[in-house]
Every structure is written in structure tokens, then in C-alpha cells.
Amino acid sequence: MRERGTGAAVVVLLCALVAAGCGGDRAAPAQPGTPAETPTEVPATGDGPGSAAPVADPDHAVEMPGPLKDRLYRPDMLIFDQDPLSDSMVEQIKELREVAAVEVIGLGNVAIENQALTVAAVDGGTFRRFTPAGSAQTQGVWDRVAGGELAIDPKLGKKLEDRDGNLALGSGDDAPVLHIGAYAEQPEQIDMVVNTAWVEDIGRMAFGNGLLISTDADDPSTIRKDVQRIVGDTASVQDLDIASRLGLDPTGVQTALLTGGSIADVVGTFSYGVLGGGRIAPDPAWVRANITTETVPILGNVTCHRAIFPQLKAALQDVVSRGLADEIHPGEYAGCYYPRFIAGTTTLSNHSFGLALDLNVPGNQRGTVGEMDRGVVQIFKKWGFAWGGDWGYTDPMHFEMAQLVDPR
């Protein structure tokens, strides 16, 4: 079991990054600039004389949560299902003797720079009880979320945001773009949070398909079988104590529900088990319905998601037609469908969905400018692919399907 910490380090981090006075008196700026770079003294609660709460996106704003009144709860278990849990399921879980508190949330995954990251849609006023102390007690975090902005794990936010402090939740042109309002640590297995007004616009997310459970002093493993029985075999039930040590709980079925843009629609719900060596075992039914092998120009036979082939064939044929075929080296092709985590992590790669391919590997390593011909790059972009060479931490061998393009 994890010990409760004071959260002092997190408090210091958030005071600096959200530009909040300790105790949550000040919040970070909305626009322009990033949360860390342009601190502004904006009243966090909006309840002072003549003050107003910061609302960056009125179209996606919800009621401000007000100050924290409840105690904090340790997040011990996370349920993630493709469909919302019924009220009856939630009530049955709440009635288990060991359960101290639950929080209903929406969960989905967004593909960003070859990572399937988890976004939660939450009621900030109650969800904050399950976050680390520094996050929970910094009022500016939850005011920013209520105002339509994103709160994200600090390391991810700094790595992925653009120069204006924005982040696209997905890789296509149709992916929703949010401003990062706060760097704030979240419960295990959750990378970022938005308010509930974003659920419909993010796409394929369903509020209520996730549930956080606290068992307080009790070991969450004692209720695992009961919880799994209540929610059904297809739901992912994760012990967050195990996940904190291993990156995820490998003992049960895992769920990835890709959201954010048109590409999410072709993937569907992706369930998988965890194997050794960073590999995963996707649901065989999903593999049969989605993964296939076809012959494409230049590369020959490749195994990918069926949805990628019209655009991949069109892009490669375009490369041939423009006399650039020699710029792609078939012997240096490193695959498309490869069900695995990103090396050294428990984050799914886009290769797990069969929607990415690596070309000319030796001369295009991560973190380098690479040697990829820019004419080839432009052709792939024309046919709906994103290129890893454009990322903050470059991956110039990597192309991934970012949007649907009709090749006719």
C-alpha cells in the first residue's frame, strides 16, 4: 500500500508553474503565453470585489468550483470501460464495505506524437479530492479547468505544448485544440483533465465510462473480484498501487478508447493484455477486423490497419510518379503494425493500432534532424500523414495517419 505524503513538493511545483500563491490565491494566465512563462495575478475564485474568474474558452466553460471543502482521498482503483457505467453499477460499488469514496469521470485516449495518452473529463469540484495534495489545494488549477482550459502532467505539458501554450488532442486537423491552463499532477493513469463541457467536442468520449475508487485504509485488492463482477469482464479494473510501481496494472484487461479526430473513429475500442518485453496482446477479434497485409508500391507487402492502405498506396504511388522512389529504402523499413508500448514506458504506440510506419531507420533516429527527403515528407503530408520530424522531440523516421483523405 502507498503511504500518504505531505504533498509539499507538489505544492511547490504548482505554486511556481500555475503562478499561484501557496494556498491557491493566484492563477496562471489564460492567453497568450504558456502557464509557466507569463505569470499574471488573476484572482482564482472570482469572488472578490470587482473580480472575475478567468474564462479562456466561454464556449466550453462550466460553473466555477469554489474552494475545496471536502477531505482528500487516495485513488486506489480505476475503472475504464467503453460505455458509461450504469447508476446501478456505481451504487453497488459504493455499497461495498471497503469503499470510502468514488468519483464518476469520462475517459478517453488521444494520440499525440505517437503516444496514446489518457484524458479525463471531470467535475473539478469533486474530482480534485482524488488528485495529489498540491493539485487538489491549488484553486487556480480547477478554475482554469472550469474555464475551458487543460490541466496536464507537468512533464508532458512542457514537452508537447506549442509556442502559445496550446495542445491538440489528436494528430489531425479536426482534433480539438485546448490551451494549457495549469501544469498539475493527476492520479495514476490519467495524463490530463478537461471539464465536462468538452466531452462532445473531443469525440467518442462518454462521460461516466470511468470511475475512481478509494478504499482508504483497506487494500483495494480485496474488492477487485467484486468490482469486476459488478462492471463486467470487458471493463478494465486497475489497482493504482500496482500501476504506480509497474506503470500499469498488468493483471487484467486494459482498455484504450481513442478519441480526438476522425482517425479515432476507424480504430474503435482497443482492448489488450500485457505481455513481457514491452509487448501487448490485442483482442483477437479486433485484430481480425482491422489488421491486414497488402502489397504497396516501393515497400512490397506490409501489415497495417486496413484504413491506412488507400492513403498509404496513394502516397507511395505519388512518390514513384515524382521520381523519388529511390529516396525510400525498402531494406530500412521497420514495420507498421507492431503491438507494443513505447520503449521504456507503458504508453501505447500508434504502431499498436497499425496506423504508423517507420522509414529509412538508420539515418533518421529520434532527436535528430534526420535525412528524410523533404519532397517525400510533403507527399505524405498531402495524403493525411503526420511526420515525426515536426515534433518537439523529433522522430524523422516516423509517419502516422493523422486524418482521412479520399484518394480518388
**Total number of domains constituting the chain:** 2
Domain identity same for 23 and 168: yes
Q: Phi and psi for 10 in degrees, rounded to 5?
A: -70, -40
DSSP-assigned letter for residue 311 = H
| Residue given cell 515528407 in the structure block | 377
Least confident window among 10-19, 178-187, 241-250: 10-19
Task: Compute the average pLDDT of residues 383-391.
Answer: 93
Domain identity same for 112 and 249: yes
Does a structural domain hold residue 273? no
Residues 264-299 have pLDDT tens digits of: 777 777 888 888 788 999 999 999 999 999 999 999
Domain identity same for 295 and 230: no
Euclidean distance between CA atoms 120 and 5, whole angstroms: 24
DSSP characters for 70-90?
A: SPP----EEEE-SSPPPHHHH
Among 226, 247, 262, where does a domain finish?
262
Euclidean distance between CA atoms 333 and 353, whole angstroms: 18
User: Domain residues for 389?
Assistant: 290-401
Q: Given this model, what pLDDT does residue 408 score?
A: 63
Q: For residue 43, is pLDDT > 70?
A: no
Domain identity same for 324 and 192: no
Domain identity same for 224 and 306: no
Task: Compute the average pLDDT of residues 184-209.
Answer: 91
| pLDDT interval class at 19 (50, 70, 90) | very low
Domain identity same for 251 and 297: no
Predicted model pTM: 0.78
Domain identity same for 249 and 298: no
Euclidean distance between CA atoms 46 and 213, whole angstroms: 31
Q: For residue 126, is pLDDT > 60?
A: yes
| pLDDT interval class at 174 (50, 70, 90) | confident
Query: Which residues neighbour 241 within 8 Å (Cβ) at sequence distance 6 or greater?
Result: 1, 2, 76, 220
Among 262, 279, 301, where does a domain finish?
262
Does a structural domain hold residue 193? yes
Does a structural domain hold residue 272? no
Identify the CATH number of the domain in which residue 376 sits.
3.30.1380.10
Task: Compute the average pLDDT of residues 76-89.
Answer: 95
Q: How many CA atoms lie within 13 Å of 189's alpha carbon, on the beta-carbon side?
A: 29
Q: For residue 15, is pLDDT > 50?
A: no
Does a structural domain hold residue 247? yes
Q: For residue 261, is pLDDT > 80?
A: no
Q: For residue 262, is pLDDT > 80?
A: no
Does a structural domain hold residue 174? yes
Query: Which residues neighbour 408 within 8 Å (Cβ) at sequence distance 6 or greater?
Result: none
Does a structural domain hold residue 271? no
Euclidean distance between CA atoms 167 and 184, whole angstroms: 15
Q: For residue 212, is pLDDT > 60?
A: yes
Q: Best-predicted range by mean pLDDT among 257-266, 304-313, 339-348?
A: 304-313
| pLDDT interval class at 242 (50, 70, 90) | confident
Q: Given this model, what pLDDT does residue 46 score?
A: 33
The overall average pLDDT reported for the chain is: 84
Q: For residue 7, is pLDDT > 80?
A: no
Q: Given this model, what pLDDT does residue 5 score?
A: 39
Does a structural domain hold residue 144? yes
Residue 44 vs residue 277, higher pLDDT: 277
Q: For residue 173, is pLDDT > 80?
A: no
DSSP-assigned letter for residue 342 = P
Does a structural domain hold residue 277? no
Task: Compute the average pLDDT of residues 178-193.
Answer: 95
Least confident window among 1-10, 82-91, 138-147: 1-10
Domain identity same for 201 and 66: yes
Domain identity same for 355 and 224: no
Q: Given this model, what pLDDT does residue 141 score?
A: 96
Q: Where are the alpha helices (DSSP H) in 37-165?
A: 87-94, 124-127, 133-136, 139-146, 154-160
Domain identity same for 40 and 162: yes
Q: What percent of the chain has pLDDT over 90?
A: 63
Q: Given this model, what pLDDT does residue 53 score?
A: 55
Q: Where are the alpha helices (DSSP H) in 5-138?
A: 8-17, 87-94, 124-127, 133-136
Euclidean distance between CA atoms 264 and 403, whole angstroms: 9
Least confident window among 17-31, 60-74, 100-114, 278-292: 17-31
Q: Given this model, what pLDDT does residue 36 score?
A: 34
| pLDDT interval class at 175 (50, 70, 90) | confident
Domain identity same for 247 and 301: no
| pLDDT interval class at 330 (50, 70, 90) | very high
Question: Are 399 and 113 within 8 A, CB to CB?
Answer: no
Domain identity same for 188 and 327: no
For residue 398, which of 299, 367, 223, 40 has the smallest C-alpha distance?
A: 367
Euclidean distance between CA atoms 337 and 209, whole angstroms: 28
C-alpha cell at 244: 504506480
